[in-house]
C-alpha cells in the first residue's frame, strides 16, 4: 500500500495555481464531438483519468469491450452513446463500478428501443449492448430524477441525434440540478435548442455544430484551496482558469467560502483567495446541487469548530465510496464525527461532531479509492503532520494535486511500507 506523509513547516501559504479543465464539462464536450461526427479542437481538456479514459475509448476502433475503470460519468455517458450508435459491445468497469446503479438509465434507453442486458447483478454494470431496434419510432422517455443527474445528462446528450428527438419526463425530486443545467448550457453552446416546462424537457432532432471549444477550469478543485486558506495561519492563493460566470454548480464555492471567512477577489480571469476577519460559527447548507463539495466543507467545519448542518447528501452513498460513512470513519480518528442528526423539512441532515483534535501521534487517513477523500483531508497538514493512504487516487480528477501542494510549501514524503 502506498502512503505519503504530508506536512507544512510554517502553516502559511502564498502562491498561484493553474487549475486543470473541468472534468464534467470535458466529458460532455467529448461525447458531443463524437456524436457530431466531426473532429474539432477541445482546448484545456481535463487531464483527469475520467476524461482521458473517455477520450481513449471514444477514439478506439473496433473494440468489443469498453472498460472505464472507476469513471462513473464516463460509464453513464458511454452507456447512452453506445446504445444508439454501435451495438454488440460489453461496457464494464472496476469492482466498485459494478456496485453502482445504472438501472434507471438502462430502463430509459430501453424505452427508446435500445438493447441492453445485465451480465452480472441486475441493475448494475457490466452491460452487454446490442444493436438498437425501433429508434425511429420512440421518442418519449421517463427517468427517475432522484438518483443521479448523470442519467438525465446522458439522455440529453444523445437526444438531438435521435430520429424524432426526445421528450424527457423527469420523475420525482431532481438531484444535482446544477449538472443538468450545465448539460443544457453546453448543448446550447453547440447549437442545440430545447424547451423545458417544469419536469419535461423536449429536444427536437438537430445536428451538433462542430466548433473549437475551450474548457473552463474545475470549480470542484478550487474547493481544496478554499480549505487551505481557511485552515492556514495566513493564506493568499491565486487560482487561474476559473470563470466567474460559470456553468458549474460548484462555483457556489464563492458564497460558501464567504460564509467560512474566505474572500474571493477577481482580476483579469484570476481569483485570489484571502482569509477574512470573521467566519460563521455555524453553517447550514443544502448540498443537493453541489454534492462534490460536501467532504471538503465538512473537514473545514470540523477543523475550525464550525457547527455544520448538511442536507442534500442523498447521492453521496453511491459515489466512488459511501462518502458519508467514510467521512465519519476518518473524522473519528481526530476526535470528531459526521453523523445523521435528524430530519429537517423531511430531509435528512448530518452534523459535525466536536472540533478536530490531534494527538502527538501521526494520523493516517484512508481514501477508500475516492479521490475527494484524499484531497478533502490533505489541507489538515497545515495544522499537523498527517499521512494519506493510496494518494494516487487523485488522478481520477486532479493528477497534479500533490505537485501543486508542493508549490505552496507543503512537504510530501513517501512512507516506507
Return averaged pLDDT per consecutive 10 residues of the chain, 417 residues in all.
93 97 96 96 95 95 90 94 88 92 94 95 95 83 89 97 95 88 96 96 96 96 97 96 92 95 92 89 92 95 93 85 94 95 82 91 94 97 97 95 98 89
Q: Is 250 a catalytic residue?
A: no
pLDDT per residue over 200-241, tens digit each? 999 999 999 999 999 999 999 999 999 999 999 999 999 999
Indicate if 179 and 259 belong to the same structural domain.
no
For position 173, what pLDDT does the model report? Answer: 85
Phi, psi of 277 (to 5 degrees): -80, -25
Asked if residue 185 and residue 56 are part of one domain, the reply reads: yes
Looking at the structure, tell me whether residues 70 and 12 fall in a common domain.
Answer: no
Q: Which of 107, 1, 2, 125 is nearest to 69 (CA)?
A: 125
- Domain boundary among the residues 214, 246, 274 is at 214
Q: Give how far the C-alpha of residue 415 lies from the chain's centroid of Cα atoms, to the nearest Å.
A: 29
For position 184, what pLDDT does the model report? 97
What digits encode the pLDDT tens for the residues 43-89? 999 999 999 999 999 999 888 899 999 888 999 999 999 999 877 89
Confidence at residue 417, expressed as pLDDT on a 0 to 100 scale: 65
Same domain, 236 and 103: no
Cis-peptide into 126, omega within 30 deg: yes
Domain total in the chain: 2
Angle 23-36/72-85 helices, nearest 10 degrees?
A: 10
State whether 60 and 202 are in the same domain.
yes
State the residue range of the domain holding 299.
3-20+217-414
Rounded to whole angstroms, the Cα distance separating 258 from 296 reads 15
Q: Are residues 226 and 187 in the same domain?
A: no
- Domain-ending residue, one of 183, 214, 245: 214
- 182, 273: one domain: no
Quote the pLDDT of residue 105.
Answer: 96
Beta bridge partners of 275: 262
Find out whether 11 and 409 touch, Cβ atoms under 8 Å. Answer: no
Q: How are strands ordered across the β-sheet holding 307-311?
A: 282-286, 307-311, 347-352, 338-344
**Claim to verify: residue 206 and residue 243 sit in the same structural domain:** no
Residue 407 and residue 357 share a domain = yes
Give the per-residue pLDDT at 416: 81
Q: Are residues 126 and 238 in the same domain?
A: no
Angstrom distance (rounded) from CA 45 to CA 225: 21
**pLDDT, position 346:** 72
* Catalytic option among 292, 328, 370, 404: 292
Which CATH number characterizes residue 177's domain? 3.65.10.10
Contact between 410 and 8 under an 8 Å Cβ cutoff? The reply is: yes
Do 185 and 239 have their domain in common? Answer: no
Domain boundary among 184, 214, 244: 214
Residue 348: per-residue pLDDT = 86
Same domain assignment for residues 160 and 57: yes
**Closest to 92 measured CA to CA, from 57, 139, 61, 60:** 57
Amino acid at each position: 500500500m502506498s502512503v505519503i506523509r504530508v506536512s507544512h513547516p510554517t502553516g502559511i501559504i502564498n502562491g498561484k495555481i493553474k487549475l486543470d479543465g473541468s472534468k464534467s464539462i470535458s466529458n460532455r464536450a467529448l461525447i458531443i464531438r463524437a456524436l457530431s461526427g466531426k473532429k474539432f479542437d477541445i482546448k484545456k481538456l481535463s487531464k483527469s483519468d475520467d476524461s482521458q479514459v473517455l477520450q481513449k475509448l471514444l477514439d478506439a476502433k473496433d473494440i468489443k469491450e469498453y472498460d472505464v475503470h472507476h469513471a462513473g460519468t464516463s460509464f453513464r455517458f458511454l452507456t447512452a452513446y453506445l446504445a444508439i450508435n454501435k451495438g454488440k459491445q460489453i461496457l464494464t468497469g472496476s469492482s466498485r463500478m459494478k456496485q453502482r446503479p445504472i438501472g434507471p438509465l438502462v430502463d430509459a434507453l430501453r424505452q427508446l428501443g435500445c438493447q441492453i442486458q445485465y451480465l452480472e447483478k441486475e441493475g448494475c454494470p457490466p452491460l452487454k449492448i446490442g444493436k438498437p431496434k425501433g429508434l425511429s419510432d420512440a421518442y418519449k422517455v421517463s427517468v427517475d430524477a432522484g438518483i443521479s443527474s448523470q442519467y438525465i445528462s446522458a439522455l440529453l446528450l444523445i437526444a438531438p441525434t435521435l430520429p424524432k428527438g426526445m421528450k424527457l419526463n423527469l420523475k420525482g425530486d431532481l438531484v444535482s440540478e446544477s449538472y443538468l443545467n450545465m448539460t443544457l448550457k453546453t448543448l446550447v453552446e453547440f447549437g442545440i435548442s430545447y424547451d423545458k416546462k417544469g419536469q419535461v424537457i423536449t429536444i427536437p432532432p438537430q445536428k451538433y455544430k462542430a466548433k473549437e471549444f475551450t474548457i473552463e477550469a474545475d470549480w470542484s478543485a478550487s474547493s481544496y484551496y478554499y480549505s487551505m486558506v481557511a485552515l492556514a495561519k495566513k493564506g493568499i492563493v491565486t487560482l487561474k482558469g476559473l470563470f466567474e460566470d460559470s456553468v458549474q454548480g460548484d462555483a457556489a464555492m464563492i458564497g460558501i467560502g464567504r460564509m467560512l471567512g474566505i474572500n474571493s477577489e477577481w482580476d483579469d480571469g484570476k481569483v485570489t483567495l484571502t482569509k477574512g476577519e470573521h467566519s460563521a460559527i455555524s453553517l447550514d447548507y443544502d448540498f443537493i446541487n453541489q454534492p462534490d463539495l460536501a467532504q471538503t466543507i465538512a473537514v473545514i467545519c470540523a477543523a475550525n469548530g464550525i457547527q455544520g448542518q448538511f442536507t442534500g447528501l442523498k447521492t453521496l452513498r453511491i459515489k466512488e465510496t459511501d462518502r458519508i460513512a467514510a467521512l465519519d470513519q476518518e473524522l473519528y480518528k481526530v476526535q470528531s464525527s459526521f453523523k445523521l442528526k435528524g430530519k429537517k423539512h423531511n430531509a435528512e441532515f448530518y452534523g459535525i461532531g466536536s472540533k478536530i483534535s490531534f494527538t502527538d501521534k501521526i494520523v493516517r487517513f484512508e481514501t477508500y479509492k475516492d479521490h475527494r477523500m484524499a484531497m478533502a483531508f490533505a489541507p489538515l497538514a497545515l495544522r499537523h503532520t498527517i499521512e494519506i493512504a493510496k494518494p494516487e487516487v487523485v488522478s481520477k480528477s486532479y493528477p497534479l494535486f500533490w505537485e501543486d501542494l508542493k508549490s505552496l510549501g507543503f512537504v510530501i514524503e513517501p512512507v516506507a511500507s
